[in-house]
Amino acid sequence: MELKAKEQLISLFEKYYNEEVIAFEQLPASGSYREYCRLKSKNRQVIGAFNNDLKENRAFIEFTNHFVRHNLPVPEVYTVSDDKKYYLIEDLGDVTLFDFLEQHRQLEDFSENIVDQYKKVLVVLPEFQIRAGSDLDYSNCYPRNAFDKQSMMWDLNYFKYYFLKLAQIPFDEQALEDDFQNFSDYLLSTDTNYFLYRDFQSRNIMLKDGKVYFIDYQGGRKGALQYDLASLLYDAKADIPQHIRTKLLDFYLDQLEKHIPVNRYEFKSYFSGYVLIRIMQAMGAYGFRGFYEKKEHFLKSIPFALENLRYILSNHTIGIQVPELFSVLQKVIESKVLREIASKEGKLTVQITSFSYKRGIPDDPSGNGGGFVFDCRAIHNPGRYEEYKHLSGKDQKVQEFLENNSNINDFLNPVFSLVSQSVKKYLSRGFSHLNVCFGCTGGQHRSVYSAEKLAEYLKNKFPVEIVLQHREQENW
Protein backbone atom coordinates (compact mmCIF):
# COMPACT_ATOMS: atom_id res chain seq x y z
CA MET A 1 0.00 0.00 0.00
CA GLU A 2 1.39 3.37 -0.99
CA LEU A 3 2.21 5.92 1.69
CA LYS A 4 -0.57 8.24 0.53
CA ALA A 5 -3.24 5.54 0.92
CA LYS A 6 -1.92 4.63 4.36
CA GLU A 7 -1.99 8.27 5.47
CA GLN A 8 -5.50 8.78 4.09
CA LEU A 9 -6.87 5.75 5.96
CA ILE A 10 -5.20 6.78 9.21
CA SER A 11 -6.59 10.29 8.80
CA LEU A 12 -10.09 8.93 8.08
CA PHE A 13 -9.95 6.76 11.22
CA GLU A 14 -8.68 9.53 13.50
CA LYS A 15 -11.17 12.07 12.17
CA TYR A 16 -14.15 9.70 12.51
CA TYR A 17 -13.32 8.25 15.93
CA ASN A 18 -11.27 11.12 17.35
CA GLU A 19 -8.75 8.52 18.51
CA GLU A 20 -5.08 8.05 17.63
CA VAL A 21 -4.09 5.08 15.47
CA ILE A 22 -1.48 3.11 17.41
CA ALA A 23 -1.11 0.14 15.02
CA PHE A 24 -1.36 -0.23 11.25
CA GLU A 25 -1.14 -3.64 9.59
CA GLN A 26 -1.37 -4.09 5.84
CA LEU A 27 -3.33 -7.23 5.01
CA PRO A 28 -2.21 -9.76 2.37
CA ALA A 29 -3.21 -9.04 -1.20
CA SER A 30 -6.12 -11.00 -2.68
CA GLY A 31 -7.15 -11.64 -6.27
CA SER A 32 -8.55 -8.11 -6.64
CA TYR A 33 -6.89 -4.70 -6.93
CA ARG A 34 -8.43 -3.45 -3.69
CA GLU A 35 -6.06 -2.97 -0.76
CA TYR A 36 -6.90 -3.65 2.88
CA CYS A 37 -5.33 -2.90 6.24
CA ARG A 38 -6.16 -3.22 9.93
CA LEU A 39 -6.14 -0.03 12.02
CA LYS A 40 -6.13 -0.02 15.81
CA SER A 41 -6.54 2.54 18.55
CA LYS A 42 -6.70 1.90 22.27
CA ASN A 43 -10.44 1.28 22.12
CA ARG A 44 -11.19 -0.31 18.76
CA GLN A 45 -9.92 -1.89 15.59
CA VAL A 46 -11.39 -1.80 12.08
CA ILE A 47 -10.53 -2.74 8.53
CA GLY A 48 -9.53 0.05 6.17
CA ALA A 49 -10.06 -0.31 2.41
CA PHE A 50 -8.67 1.59 -0.54
CA ASN A 51 -9.92 1.29 -4.10
CA ASN A 52 -9.68 3.75 -7.01
CA ASP A 53 -12.72 2.19 -8.71
CA LEU A 54 -15.53 4.45 -7.50
CA LYS A 55 -18.34 2.46 -9.13
CA GLU A 56 -17.17 -0.73 -7.45
CA ASN A 57 -16.96 1.09 -4.12
CA ARG A 58 -20.48 2.40 -4.55
CA ALA A 59 -21.79 -1.11 -5.27
CA PHE A 60 -20.14 -2.53 -2.15
CA ILE A 61 -21.27 0.26 0.16
CA GLU A 62 -24.88 0.39 -1.10
CA PHE A 63 -25.20 -3.40 -1.03
CA THR A 64 -23.77 -3.52 2.48
CA ASN A 65 -26.21 -0.93 3.80
CA HIS A 66 -29.08 -2.84 2.19
CA PHE A 67 -27.98 -6.17 3.69
CA VAL A 68 -27.54 -4.61 7.13
CA ARG A 69 -31.12 -3.31 6.95
CA HIS A 70 -32.18 -6.92 6.33
CA ASN A 71 -30.14 -8.08 9.36
CA LEU A 72 -27.89 -10.21 7.18
CA PRO A 73 -24.33 -11.15 8.27
CA VAL A 74 -22.07 -8.66 6.49
CA PRO A 75 -19.44 -6.21 7.78
CA GLU A 76 -20.88 -2.84 8.72
CA VAL A 77 -19.55 0.20 6.83
CA TYR A 78 -18.58 2.83 9.41
CA THR A 79 -17.46 5.78 7.32
CA VAL A 80 -16.45 6.68 3.77
CA SER A 81 -14.05 9.40 2.62
CA ASP A 82 -15.34 12.40 0.69
CA ASP A 83 -13.70 11.18 -2.53
CA LYS A 84 -15.26 7.69 -2.03
CA LYS A 85 -11.90 5.94 -2.45
CA TYR A 86 -11.37 5.04 1.21
CA TYR A 87 -13.69 3.47 3.75
CA LEU A 88 -13.67 1.78 7.15
CA ILE A 89 -15.59 -1.43 7.82
CA GLU A 90 -16.15 -3.89 10.63
CA ASP A 91 -13.24 -6.22 11.41
CA LEU A 92 -14.45 -9.83 11.14
CA GLY A 93 -11.09 -11.35 12.03
CA ASP A 94 -8.81 -13.46 9.86
CA VAL A 95 -10.49 -16.87 9.61
CA THR A 96 -12.18 -17.59 6.30
CA LEU A 97 -14.12 -20.74 5.56
CA PHE A 98 -11.17 -21.81 3.40
CA ASP A 99 -8.75 -21.31 6.33
CA PHE A 100 -11.02 -23.40 8.56
CA LEU A 101 -11.19 -26.08 5.88
CA GLU A 102 -7.40 -26.20 5.48
CA GLN A 103 -6.72 -26.37 9.21
CA HIS A 104 -9.29 -29.02 10.05
CA ARG A 105 -8.95 -31.16 6.94
CA GLN A 106 -5.35 -32.00 7.80
CA LEU A 107 -6.56 -33.57 11.04
CA GLU A 108 -10.11 -34.71 10.27
CA ASP A 109 -10.35 -35.15 6.49
CA PHE A 110 -13.71 -33.71 5.31
CA SER A 111 -15.49 -34.31 8.63
CA GLU A 112 -18.99 -33.48 9.82
CA ASN A 113 -17.41 -30.52 11.61
CA ILE A 114 -16.48 -29.04 8.22
CA VAL A 115 -19.81 -30.01 6.66
CA ASP A 116 -21.61 -28.20 9.48
CA GLN A 117 -19.81 -24.95 8.58
CA TYR A 118 -20.98 -25.29 4.98
CA LYS A 119 -24.52 -25.94 6.18
CA LYS A 120 -24.45 -22.68 8.15
CA VAL A 121 -23.56 -20.91 4.92
CA LEU A 122 -26.30 -22.65 2.95
CA VAL A 123 -28.93 -21.69 5.51
CA VAL A 124 -28.08 -18.01 5.01
CA LEU A 125 -27.49 -18.02 1.24
CA PRO A 126 -31.22 -18.07 0.24
CA GLU A 127 -31.78 -15.09 2.55
CA PHE A 128 -29.44 -13.06 0.33
CA GLN A 129 -30.72 -14.50 -2.92
CA ILE A 130 -34.45 -14.20 -2.26
CA ARG A 131 -35.36 -12.03 0.72
CA ALA A 132 -32.70 -9.31 0.34
CA GLY A 133 -32.66 -9.65 -3.43
CA SER A 134 -36.37 -8.91 -3.80
CA ASP A 135 -36.09 -5.20 -2.99
CA LEU A 136 -32.44 -4.52 -3.84
CA ASP A 137 -31.71 -1.45 -5.97
CA TYR A 138 -29.97 -3.12 -8.92
CA SER A 139 -29.02 0.24 -10.40
CA ASN A 140 -26.03 0.14 -8.03
CA CYS A 141 -24.64 -3.01 -9.66
CA TYR A 142 -21.25 -2.88 -11.33
CA PRO A 143 -20.31 -3.55 -14.07
CA ARG A 144 -23.79 -4.86 -15.05
CA ASN A 145 -27.09 -5.20 -13.22
CA ALA A 146 -27.68 -8.81 -14.30
CA PHE A 147 -25.74 -11.95 -15.11
CA ASP A 148 -27.23 -11.73 -18.58
CA LYS A 149 -26.10 -12.88 -22.01
CA GLN A 150 -23.51 -10.12 -22.27
CA SER A 151 -22.02 -11.08 -18.89
CA MET A 152 -21.91 -14.74 -19.85
CA MET A 153 -20.22 -14.00 -23.16
CA TRP A 154 -17.61 -11.91 -21.35
CA ASP A 155 -16.85 -14.87 -19.08
CA LEU A 156 -16.79 -17.37 -21.92
CA ASN A 157 -14.49 -15.21 -24.05
CA TYR A 158 -12.31 -14.52 -21.01
CA PHE A 159 -11.92 -18.30 -20.74
CA LYS A 160 -11.20 -18.56 -24.48
CA TYR A 161 -8.55 -15.86 -24.70
CA TYR A 162 -6.84 -16.04 -21.30
CA PHE A 163 -7.03 -19.78 -20.74
CA LEU A 164 -7.51 -21.75 -23.94
CA LYS A 165 -5.12 -19.68 -26.05
CA LEU A 166 -2.46 -19.25 -23.36
CA ALA A 167 -2.64 -22.97 -22.50
CA GLN A 168 -2.27 -23.76 -26.22
CA ILE A 169 -5.61 -25.59 -26.56
CA PRO A 170 -6.70 -25.78 -30.25
CA PHE A 171 -10.31 -25.00 -31.20
CA ASP A 172 -12.56 -24.01 -34.10
CA GLU A 173 -13.24 -20.33 -33.41
CA GLN A 174 -16.60 -20.11 -35.21
CA ALA A 175 -17.95 -23.43 -33.91
CA LEU A 176 -16.95 -22.53 -30.36
CA GLU A 177 -18.58 -19.10 -30.69
CA ASP A 178 -21.81 -20.74 -31.88
CA ASP A 179 -21.76 -23.08 -28.89
CA PHE A 180 -21.12 -20.18 -26.52
CA GLN A 181 -24.22 -18.45 -27.91
CA ASN A 182 -26.38 -21.57 -27.55
CA PHE A 183 -25.00 -22.42 -24.12
CA SER A 184 -25.69 -18.95 -22.71
CA ASP A 185 -29.23 -18.97 -24.15
CA TYR A 186 -29.84 -22.30 -22.42
CA LEU A 187 -28.61 -21.00 -19.05
CA LEU A 188 -30.85 -17.95 -19.33
CA SER A 189 -33.95 -20.07 -19.91
CA THR A 190 -34.27 -20.69 -16.16
CA ASP A 191 -35.46 -18.07 -13.64
CA THR A 192 -32.77 -15.38 -13.28
CA ASN A 193 -34.55 -12.87 -11.02
CA TYR A 194 -32.58 -13.46 -7.82
CA PHE A 195 -29.56 -11.82 -6.21
CA LEU A 196 -26.39 -13.42 -7.54
CA TYR A 197 -23.35 -12.89 -5.35
CA ARG A 198 -21.02 -13.56 -8.31
CA ASP A 199 -17.88 -14.67 -6.40
CA PHE A 200 -19.39 -16.88 -3.72
CA GLN A 201 -16.46 -19.01 -2.62
CA SER A 202 -14.80 -20.10 0.62
CA ARG A 203 -12.34 -17.18 0.79
CA ASN A 204 -15.24 -14.70 0.80
CA ILE A 205 -16.93 -16.24 3.83
CA MET A 206 -15.65 -15.31 7.28
CA LEU A 207 -16.08 -17.34 10.46
CA LYS A 208 -16.34 -15.46 13.74
CA ASP A 209 -17.80 -16.47 17.12
CA GLY A 210 -19.48 -19.52 15.63
CA LYS A 211 -21.26 -17.53 12.91
CA VAL A 212 -20.70 -17.02 9.17
CA TYR A 213 -20.32 -13.62 7.51
CA PHE A 214 -20.23 -12.76 3.82
CA ILE A 215 -17.77 -10.30 2.23
CA ASP A 216 -16.74 -9.12 -1.27
CA TYR A 217 -20.17 -9.09 -2.89
CA GLN A 218 -19.59 -5.87 -4.83
CA GLY A 219 -19.89 -7.79 -8.10
CA GLY A 220 -23.44 -8.87 -7.23
CA ARG A 221 -26.31 -8.62 -9.72
CA LYS A 222 -29.50 -10.39 -10.80
CA GLY A 223 -29.10 -13.99 -11.83
CA ALA A 224 -29.99 -17.64 -11.34
CA LEU A 225 -29.92 -19.36 -7.96
CA GLN A 226 -27.68 -22.13 -9.28
CA TYR A 227 -24.64 -19.95 -9.97
CA ASP A 228 -23.66 -19.09 -6.39
CA LEU A 229 -24.23 -22.66 -5.26
CA ALA A 230 -21.98 -23.86 -8.09
CA SER A 231 -19.33 -21.31 -7.05
CA LEU A 232 -19.31 -22.58 -3.48
CA LEU A 233 -19.52 -26.33 -4.04
CA TYR A 234 -17.08 -26.37 -6.97
CA ASP A 235 -14.61 -23.91 -5.45
CA ALA A 236 -11.45 -25.46 -6.94
CA LYS A 237 -8.99 -25.41 -4.05
CA ALA A 238 -11.63 -26.33 -1.48
CA ASP A 239 -11.73 -29.67 -3.32
CA ILE A 240 -14.97 -30.89 -1.72
CA PRO A 241 -15.50 -34.66 -2.19
CA GLN A 242 -18.26 -35.39 -4.67
CA HIS A 243 -20.49 -37.28 -2.20
CA ILE A 244 -20.31 -34.25 0.12
CA ARG A 245 -21.26 -31.93 -2.75
CA THR A 246 -24.34 -34.05 -3.42
CA LYS A 247 -25.26 -33.98 0.26
CA LEU A 248 -24.84 -30.19 0.46
CA LEU A 249 -26.80 -29.63 -2.76
CA ASP A 250 -29.77 -31.49 -1.27
CA PHE A 251 -29.40 -29.58 2.00
CA TYR A 252 -29.49 -26.28 0.10
CA LEU A 253 -32.65 -27.33 -1.73
CA ASP A 254 -34.24 -28.15 1.64
CA GLN A 255 -33.47 -24.59 2.77
CA LEU A 256 -34.62 -23.09 -0.52
CA GLU A 257 -38.01 -24.79 -0.22
CA LYS A 258 -38.60 -22.78 2.95
CA HIS A 259 -38.68 -19.68 0.72
CA ILE A 260 -40.05 -20.75 -2.69
CA PRO A 261 -41.44 -23.88 -4.41
CA VAL A 262 -38.65 -25.92 -6.05
CA ASN A 263 -38.66 -28.41 -8.92
CA ARG A 264 -35.59 -30.37 -7.85
CA TYR A 265 -35.09 -32.20 -11.13
CA GLU A 266 -35.18 -28.98 -13.14
CA PHE A 267 -32.96 -27.16 -10.64
CA LYS A 268 -30.29 -29.89 -10.82
CA SER A 269 -30.41 -29.97 -14.62
CA TYR A 270 -29.53 -26.29 -14.84
CA PHE A 271 -27.10 -26.64 -11.96
CA SER A 272 -24.71 -28.69 -14.14
CA GLY A 273 -24.64 -25.89 -16.70
CA TYR A 274 -23.93 -23.23 -14.11
CA VAL A 275 -21.17 -25.37 -12.60
CA LEU A 276 -19.60 -25.54 -16.04
CA ILE A 277 -19.71 -21.80 -16.76
CA ARG A 278 -18.37 -21.08 -13.27
CA ILE A 279 -15.45 -23.46 -13.82
CA MET A 280 -14.69 -21.75 -17.14
CA GLN A 281 -14.90 -18.30 -15.54
CA ALA A 282 -12.48 -19.41 -12.81
CA MET A 283 -10.09 -20.92 -15.34
CA GLY A 284 -10.09 -17.63 -17.22
CA ALA A 285 -9.04 -15.90 -14.01
CA TYR A 286 -6.32 -18.50 -13.36
CA GLY A 287 -5.03 -17.97 -16.88
CA PHE A 288 -5.06 -14.19 -16.68
CA ARG A 289 -3.42 -14.03 -13.26
CA GLY A 290 -1.12 -17.01 -13.76
CA PHE A 291 -0.15 -17.20 -17.44
CA TYR A 292 -0.51 -13.51 -18.33
CA GLU A 293 0.40 -11.65 -15.12
CA LYS A 294 2.92 -14.36 -14.11
CA LYS A 295 1.47 -14.75 -10.61
CA GLU A 296 2.26 -18.43 -10.36
CA HIS A 297 0.28 -19.20 -7.20
CA PHE A 298 -2.93 -18.77 -9.23
CA LEU A 299 -1.88 -21.82 -11.24
CA LYS A 300 -2.15 -23.94 -8.09
CA SER A 301 -5.90 -24.18 -8.60
CA ILE A 302 -5.71 -25.59 -12.13
CA PRO A 303 -5.30 -29.28 -11.11
CA PHE A 304 -8.42 -29.06 -8.91
CA ALA A 305 -10.37 -27.31 -11.68
CA LEU A 306 -9.40 -30.07 -14.12
CA GLU A 307 -10.78 -32.71 -11.78
CA ASN A 308 -14.02 -30.76 -11.38
CA LEU A 309 -14.25 -30.41 -15.15
CA ARG A 310 -13.65 -34.13 -15.65
CA TYR A 311 -16.51 -34.98 -13.28
CA ILE A 312 -18.98 -32.55 -14.87
CA LEU A 313 -18.29 -33.77 -18.39
CA SER A 314 -18.92 -37.35 -17.25
CA ASN A 315 -22.05 -36.61 -15.19
CA HIS A 316 -23.71 -33.50 -16.64
CA THR A 317 -27.44 -33.02 -17.15
CA ILE A 318 -27.08 -30.09 -19.54
CA GLY A 319 -30.08 -30.14 -21.86
CA ILE A 320 -28.44 -28.79 -25.01
CA GLN A 321 -25.97 -29.95 -27.67
CA VAL A 322 -22.69 -27.98 -27.64
CA PRO A 323 -20.24 -30.36 -29.41
CA GLU A 324 -17.33 -27.97 -29.99
CA LEU A 325 -17.45 -26.72 -26.40
CA PHE A 326 -17.38 -30.26 -25.00
CA SER A 327 -14.61 -31.22 -27.42
CA VAL A 328 -12.50 -28.26 -26.30
CA LEU A 329 -13.09 -29.03 -22.62
CA GLN A 330 -12.03 -32.64 -23.20
CA LYS A 331 -8.80 -31.32 -24.77
CA VAL A 332 -8.29 -29.18 -21.66
CA ILE A 333 -8.50 -32.28 -19.47
CA GLU A 334 -6.06 -34.17 -21.70
CA SER A 335 -3.65 -31.25 -22.26
CA LYS A 336 0.02 -32.12 -21.84
CA VAL A 337 0.82 -28.49 -20.97
CA LEU A 338 -1.76 -28.45 -18.17
CA ARG A 339 -0.72 -31.88 -16.90
CA GLU A 340 2.84 -30.58 -16.57
CA ILE A 341 1.56 -27.62 -14.55
CA ALA A 342 -0.42 -30.02 -12.37
CA SER A 343 2.65 -32.22 -11.86
CA LYS A 344 4.71 -29.23 -10.70
CA GLU A 345 2.13 -27.98 -8.24
CA GLY A 346 2.20 -29.16 -4.67
CA LYS A 347 5.79 -30.42 -4.86
CA LEU A 348 7.12 -28.07 -2.19
CA THR A 349 5.67 -28.48 1.28
CA VAL A 350 6.70 -25.98 3.94
CA GLN A 351 6.35 -27.46 7.43
CA ILE A 352 6.05 -24.64 10.01
CA THR A 353 6.16 -25.63 13.68
CA SER A 354 6.03 -23.67 16.93
CA PHE A 355 7.63 -25.29 19.99
CA SER A 356 9.00 -24.88 23.50
CA TYR A 357 12.74 -25.15 24.01
CA LYS A 358 11.97 -27.05 27.22
CA ARG A 359 11.05 -30.06 25.05
CA GLY A 360 13.77 -29.57 22.47
CA ILE A 361 13.77 -28.67 18.80
CA PRO A 362 11.26 -30.67 16.71
CA ASP A 363 12.48 -33.36 14.34
CA ASP A 364 12.29 -32.77 10.60
CA PRO A 365 9.39 -35.04 9.49
CA SER A 366 10.75 -35.26 5.93
CA GLY A 367 14.08 -36.71 7.02
CA ASN A 368 15.90 -34.24 4.76
CA GLY A 369 17.41 -32.13 7.56
CA GLY A 370 18.20 -28.45 7.15
CA GLY A 371 15.69 -25.64 7.16
CA PHE A 372 15.44 -22.93 9.82
CA VAL A 373 15.04 -22.68 13.58
CA PHE A 374 14.27 -19.19 14.87
CA ASP A 375 14.61 -18.30 18.56
CA CYS A 376 11.78 -15.98 19.68
CA ARG A 377 12.92 -15.68 23.30
CA ALA A 378 14.41 -12.20 22.89
CA ILE A 379 10.92 -10.82 22.17
CA HIS A 380 8.93 -9.33 25.04
CA ASN A 381 6.93 -12.25 26.44
CA PRO A 382 3.16 -11.81 27.04
CA GLY A 383 3.26 -15.07 28.98
CA ARG A 384 4.82 -13.19 31.90
CA TYR A 385 1.52 -11.42 32.52
CA GLU A 386 -1.39 -13.13 34.22
CA GLU A 387 -4.02 -11.93 31.73
CA TYR A 388 -2.22 -13.66 28.83
CA LYS A 389 -1.00 -16.86 30.49
CA HIS A 390 -3.94 -18.99 29.39
CA LEU A 391 -4.09 -17.55 25.87
CA SER A 392 -1.98 -18.33 22.81
CA GLY A 393 -0.43 -16.46 19.89
CA LYS A 394 -3.61 -17.15 17.92
CA ASP A 395 -5.69 -15.05 20.31
CA GLN A 396 -6.35 -11.42 19.39
CA LYS A 397 -5.29 -10.03 22.78
CA VAL A 398 -1.89 -11.72 22.53
CA GLN A 399 -1.47 -10.54 18.96
CA GLU A 400 -2.22 -6.97 19.99
CA PHE A 401 0.27 -7.19 22.87
CA LEU A 402 3.06 -8.43 20.57
CA GLU A 403 2.33 -5.88 17.84
CA ASN A 404 2.08 -2.94 20.22
CA ASN A 405 4.53 -3.84 23.00
CA SER A 406 7.36 -5.76 21.39
CA ASN A 407 9.73 -5.72 18.41
CA ILE A 408 7.98 -8.68 16.78
CA ASN A 409 7.78 -7.00 13.35
CA ASP A 410 11.50 -6.17 13.38
CA PHE A 411 12.12 -9.83 14.18
CA LEU A 412 9.78 -11.27 11.52
CA ASN A 413 10.67 -9.07 8.55
CA PRO A 414 14.17 -10.57 8.06
CA VAL A 415 12.72 -14.02 8.81
CA PHE A 416 10.28 -13.59 5.91
CA SER A 417 13.14 -12.46 3.67
CA LEU A 418 15.40 -15.42 4.57
CA VAL A 419 12.70 -18.02 4.20
CA SER A 420 11.53 -16.49 0.91
CA GLN A 421 15.01 -16.87 -0.55
CA SER A 422 14.96 -20.58 0.24
CA VAL A 423 11.40 -21.07 -1.02
CA LYS A 424 12.26 -19.46 -4.36
CA LYS A 425 15.36 -21.64 -4.76
CA TYR A 426 13.56 -24.81 -3.64
CA LEU A 427 10.77 -24.19 -6.15
CA SER A 428 13.21 -23.58 -9.00
CA ARG A 429 15.16 -26.77 -8.18
CA GLY A 430 12.10 -28.96 -7.60
CA PHE A 431 12.77 -29.68 -3.90
CA SER A 432 9.88 -31.21 -1.99
CA HIS A 433 10.19 -30.02 1.63
CA LEU A 434 11.35 -27.10 3.75
CA ASN A 435 11.20 -27.13 7.56
CA VAL A 436 10.83 -23.91 9.59
CA CYS A 437 10.55 -23.86 13.38
CA PHE A 438 9.90 -21.07 15.87
CA GLY A 439 10.82 -21.68 19.50
CA CYS A 440 10.15 -19.76 22.70
CA THR A 441 10.02 -20.54 26.41
CA GLY A 442 6.58 -22.14 26.61
CA GLY A 443 5.69 -22.59 22.97
CA GLN A 444 2.39 -20.77 23.42
CA HIS A 445 2.70 -17.08 22.58
CA ARG A 446 5.64 -15.68 20.62
CA SER A 447 6.45 -18.82 18.63
CA VAL A 448 2.78 -19.50 17.82
CA TYR A 449 2.26 -15.94 16.60
CA SER A 450 5.41 -16.10 14.45
CA ALA A 451 4.46 -19.44 12.91
CA GLU A 452 0.97 -18.20 12.07
CA LYS A 453 2.29 -15.03 10.43
CA LEU A 454 4.89 -16.88 8.33
CA ALA A 455 2.24 -19.37 7.17
CA GLU A 456 -0.05 -16.51 6.12
CA TYR A 457 2.80 -14.73 4.33
CA LEU A 458 3.98 -17.75 2.34
CA LYS A 459 0.45 -18.89 1.48
CA ASN A 460 -0.24 -15.57 -0.23
CA LYS A 461 3.15 -15.25 -1.94
CA PHE A 462 4.18 -18.68 -3.26
CA PRO A 463 2.63 -21.82 -4.80
CA VAL A 464 3.49 -24.02 -1.81
CA GLU A 465 1.62 -26.36 0.49
CA ILE A 466 1.68 -25.20 4.12
CA VAL A 467 1.58 -27.65 7.03
CA LEU A 468 1.25 -25.66 10.26
CA GLN A 469 1.70 -27.30 13.67
CA HIS A 470 1.77 -25.86 17.20
CA ARG A 471 3.43 -28.70 19.06
CA GLU A 472 2.91 -27.57 22.62
CA GLN A 473 -0.75 -26.64 22.12
CA GLU A 474 -1.54 -30.36 21.88
CA ASN A 475 -0.75 -30.61 25.58
CA TRP A 476 -2.84 -27.74 26.87
At 185-211, the pLDDT tens digits run 999 999 999 999 999 999 999 999 999
Displacement of CA 317 from its chain's centroid (Å): 29
Q: Residue 111: pLDDT above 70?
A: yes
pLDDT of residue 218: 95
Q: Are 344 and 270 in contact (CB under 8 A)?
A: no
Q: Residue 405: pLDDT above 80?
A: yes
Residue 71 DSSP symbol: T
Q: Measure Cα distances from 223 to 4, 227, 274 in Å.
A: 38, 8, 11
pLDDT band at 317 (very low <50, low <70, confident <90, very high): confident
pLDDT of residue 303: 85
d(CA 348, CA 328): 31
75: closest CA among 58, 93, 97?
93
pLDDT band at 73 (very low <50, low <70, confident <90, very high): very high
pLDDT of residue 367: 63
Of the two residues 3 and 370, the one the predictor is more confident about is: 3
Highest mean pLDDT range out of 21-35, 313-327, 336-350? Answer: 313-327
Reduce the secondary structure of 91-105 to three states and give it as a string. CCCCCEHHHHHHHHH
Across the chain, what does the average pLDDT equal? Answer: 92
Average pLDDT of the residues in 145-173: 96
d(CA 406, CA 401): 7
| Residue-range domains of the chain with CATH | 3-89 (3.30.200.20), 97-344 (3.90.1200.10), 349-475 (no CATH)
pLDDT band at 293 (very low <50, low <70, confident <90, very high): confident
pLDDT band at 476 (very low <50, low <70, confident <90, very high): very low
Please enumerate in sequence order all residues whose Cβ is within 8 A of that of 302, keeping only pairs 6 or more positions apart, or say none.
Answer: 236, 283, 286, 290, 338, 341, 342, 345
pLDDT of residue 159: 97
Average pLDDT of the residues in 107-118: 89
Of the two residues 263 and 302, the one the predictor is more confident about is: 263
Average pLDDT of the residues in 393-402: 93
At 22-32, the pLDDT tens digits run 999 988 766 56
Average pLDDT of the residues in 362-384: 86
In percent, how much of the chain has pLDDT > 70?
95
Q: Which helix (H) or strand (E) holds 45?
A: strand 45-50
pLDDT of residue 426: 85
